[in-house]
Chain A
Amino acid sequence: EDQVTQSPEALRLQEGESSSLNCSYTVSGLRGLFWYRQDPGKGPEFLFTLYSAGEEKEKERLKATLTKKESFLHITAPKPEDSATYLCAVQARGNKLVFGAGTILRVKS
């Protein structure tokens, strides 16, 4: 069964304090790994798709990397507006996504 585990469950950072979020996955035939950001009361907002081990993508202060077993979302010099829940999901058979439980990030100024 496809499974996604995210850690930590919650992370508190000071503004400017860089860190990483982890997404471990087991899936038969990975077609894509997705990172989303979710703000309270909103739907998930697409950030990145990674398709193969070794791939990296960047957007502003965020950088996503992928290995055969896990993905990392690196946050460099975060700001308070980066506070959100970050969701990881994998796409295997068909088009459905299997989500992890998410990491709640709080960045304090």
Chain B
Amino acid sequence: EAGVTQFPSHSVIEKGQTVTLRCDPISGHDNLYWYRRVMGKEIKFLLHFVKESKQDESGMPNNRFLAERTGGTYSTLKVQPAELEDSGVYFCASSQSGYHGYTFGSGTRLTVV
């Protein structure tokens, strides 16, 4: 089966610009998660979708971040306007059941300059 696909793999933008990251989960996986790793820190949870609904968005850092999941399929994470501290690697993951190991994508490396 195809894995979790994320694009772009890399993005370099200027402070104040907008960037949209996309995640295509494994087909049939109702649960979709966003995580990120900023330089030198642990991977941290951002939010969790069940189908198209946000189940838990407690990790979203502020209102510059907007996540959507269209029709319970792919998801986008928009950062607007981007700040320097938003630089890091953004991972998407999906699972059928929430109580087992996820499958992660390869991540999007975001650099804000």
Contact = CB atoms under 8 A, between A and B. Distances in A.
Interface of A: 4, 31-32, 34, 36, 41-46, 48-49, 87, 89, 91, 94-102
A15 B53 CA distance: 48
Contacts of A49: 100-101
A42 B42 CA distance: 15
A10 B102 CA distance: 25
A43 B99 contact: no
Contacts of B33: 95-96
Interface stretch (B43-51, B69-77, B79-87): B43-51
**Residue among A32, A91, A96, A100 with max Cβ neighbours from chain B (10 Å):** A96
Contact of B56 (A31, A32, A96): A96
Contacts of B111: none
**Residue among B33, B95, B100 with max Cβ neighbours from chain A (10 Å):** B100
Given A32-B99, A49-B101, A95-B48, 5 more contacts: A43-B104, A94-B98, A95-B95, A97-B102, A99-B35
A99 B43 contact: yes
B104 A94 contact: no
Given A49-B101, A95-B99, A96-B33, A43 B44 contact: no
A94 B99 CA distance: 9
A40 B95 CA distance: 23
B7 to A, nearest CB: 13
A101 B42 CA distance: 5
Nearest to B58: A96
Contacts of A94: 48, 55-56, 98
